[in-house]
Structure 1
Amino acid sequence: MKLSPSVTIEQSETGLEFIKVASEFCDATIFLQGAQITEFTPTGKKPLLWVSQQEDYQEGKGVRGGIPICWPWFGVSQHEGWPAHGVARTGLWRAEQVKEEENSIYISLSLPMNQIDEKYWPHKTKLLVEFILSTSLEVRLTTTNLDSETLNFTQALHTYFPTPAIEETKVDGLQGSKYIEFGEGPFEQHDLVSFARETDMVYTQAQDTQRIITPDGIIEVSRENSRSCVLWNPWIDKSKRLSNFADDEYHVMLCLEAANVLEDSVELAPGDKHTLATSLRWV
């Protein structure tokens, strides 16, 4: 189905529908399941997002790569048996708007809340994600409180980035911030971050922009309304335990996530909106 000159809806071999963008300035793929963008490649540049070669795109399972949307909780729920990272990343979203302009394409999707089991989220809310695609990518996740009471939630845009060699990759822009790792801390980040072991850091008081320095070039990552950011690489042992992830793929990826987690959870008063956003580009 053609939505605009550069945008179509297609279907994967496993039956999942996705929005395909093939424009003069970028190529992109956005699955309706999870509203998950799995491909963004500016014309003439390398991909800005990473997806595992082991990914099999199954119904009801989050994709290992791209930008999973974690909402209304991040990580493992305190309730046993509840889905990791919330209900948004496996929900079936609805395409709302596609608008093609001279230098960008705007795509928005909403999550029909009547498909969410009330035991997970009994509140009246509206959830909208917007993608602004040009030579860069901007993703905006807006939560609107339609309820009569204040809501509290955590969230993340769980972005997977590519690198040809994690051991030769560094992250700049976290110096001076505090971080928690494996439940310990806070510690202060003094230097650029390099990778030589499993990394699972939640940063607070970080600058709004970081740079991932890879052998393929520098990726600039900006965040908005993100009081936390998460840096993750599973390294050797955890890679062997992950689903849809090859044992050696920790060499070629990392996650740097716009987030509001732990003590930085969002409190949203009745009638208010909150937009978490991230922007990515090759420098």
Structure 2
Amino acid sequence: MNSLAFCSLEQRDELTCLEVRHPLFEADLLLQGAQLISFRPTQDPDNWLWLSNRVNYKRGVSLRGGIPVCWPWFGNADKNPVSVQQHIAHIDQAPTHGFARTIPWQIKGIKESCHQVNVCLFLPNQDKNQDNQSHWNGNATLEAHFVFSKKSCQVSLITTNTSTAPLSLSQALHTYFPTRDIKATRVYGLEGCQYADALVSDQQGWKRYTQSGPINFAAETDRIYQQKNNRLRLQTPEGITYLTTYGSQSCIVWNPWIEKARRLSQFGPEDYQKMVCIETANALDDVVTLEPGNQHCLTLILSR
């Protein structure tokens, strides 16, 4: 780290943060969970990501905001397809959104230039991680690649199946975005797409619907969309953010609204008015199955 011009490691209570301070942009990346909590081109006054002012920088706890990494399963273990569940030990005890977001990652490499900074973090092969063997019996390596520049922020998750059998997983980049007014916030690009409503279920599971027009917010929202294209547009009172994705045909749109906001950790009762989650994912019908030795890359690019 001593030879780097723009990157340094700083301690924030119990967690280590990689701080990027480039003349063209700034970023803060926690080694725990490979969680990006801030990105901002220097000409922009505000963080492109929402981060609660009640976060706790504690070991073993994912922060509320930024981009938590959900892997190797998304959401509640028992809501995943059987092909994903078969790799999860003790379904009823498995942590929500997997374990990658609450354990330390390691730095594999950092490259700096006058235009951008590239950071690669990695988790060692999970079949050798005794801390996670109680949750998961899959064999895989995971890398997180970050590319920061003046115009965009790119995050990629690269999973490699290191076992001798097929491996199925679900995952997400659980991105929190800021807004001054959730009621004046719209998401474009999912018109005509089918979605499962996690708030409405019957004997067959979550009810499925078709999106009509842009997404707006007037109540609790928790939907898993099957995407038809790889580009979404988030419009808030502050402006427009574009989400370009690769390796994903599903996304989650979430806002907890009034009642759930009161029950969430690291979350103020009024914070639902100031944030929205659009999560780049491989979920439900879009789970990933890797043959031995194969890789999958899930990528999100944010731009304005």
Q: What is the SS of the residue equivalent to 1:149? A: coil
Match of 1:105 in 2: 117
Q: Is 1:152 equivalent to 2:168 in the alignment?
A: yes
- CA offsets per residue over residues 22-79 of structure 1, 9 Å max, x none? 1011111110100100000111113110111111111100110000000001111221
2:141, 2:162 within 8 Å by CA — same for their partners in 1?
A: yes
Q: Which runs of 5+ in 2 are unaligned?
A: 79-90
Structure 2 residue identity aligned to 1:239: A
Taking a change above 3 Å as real, the CA distance of residues 82 and 3 of structure 1, as seen in their structure-2 partners, is farther
Give the alignment of 1:36-47 within 5 angstroms.
36-45=35-44, 46-47=46-47
- CA offsets per residue over residues 222-265 of structure 1, 9 Å max, x none? 11111110000000001011111001000000000110111211
Match of 1:11 in 2: 11
- CA offsets per residue over residues 110-162 of structure 1, 9 Å max, x none? 01233342132222211000000002100000000110000011000000001
* Distance in 1 between residues matched to 2:235 and 2:2, nearest whole Å: 38
Given the alignment, which residue of 248, 253, 257 partners 1:235?
257
Percentage of pairs with the same residue: 39
Give the alignment of 1:64-103 within 5 angstroms.
64-78=64-78, 79-103=91-115
Q: Which runs of 5+ in 1 are unaligned?
A: none
* Distance in 2 between residues matched to 1:57 and 1:205, nearest whole Å: 34
Give the alignment of 1:265-280 within 5 angstroms.
265-280=287-302
Match of 2:280 in 1: 258
2:24, 2:115 within 8 Å by CA — same for their partners in 1?
A: yes
Task: Identify, as 1 or 2, the structure richer in helix.
Answer: 2
1:73, 1:153 within 8 Å by CA — same for their partners in 2?
A: yes
* Distance in 2 between residues matched to 1:68 and 1:56, nearest whole Å: 14
Match of 1:207 in 2: 229
**TM-score of the pair, normalised by structure 2:** 0.90
* Distance in 1 between residues matched to 2:156 and 2:229, nearest whole Å: 18
CA offset at residue 281 of structure 1?
1.6
Match of 2:209 in 1: 187
Q: What is the SS of the residue equivalent to 2:132? A: coil
Given the alignment, which residue of 134, 137, 143 partners 1:122?
137
* Distance in 2 between residues matched to 1:11 and 1:264, nearest whole Å: 38
Quote the RMSD (CA, aligned, Å): 1.2
1:164, 1:216 within 8 Å by CA — same for their partners in 2?
A: yes
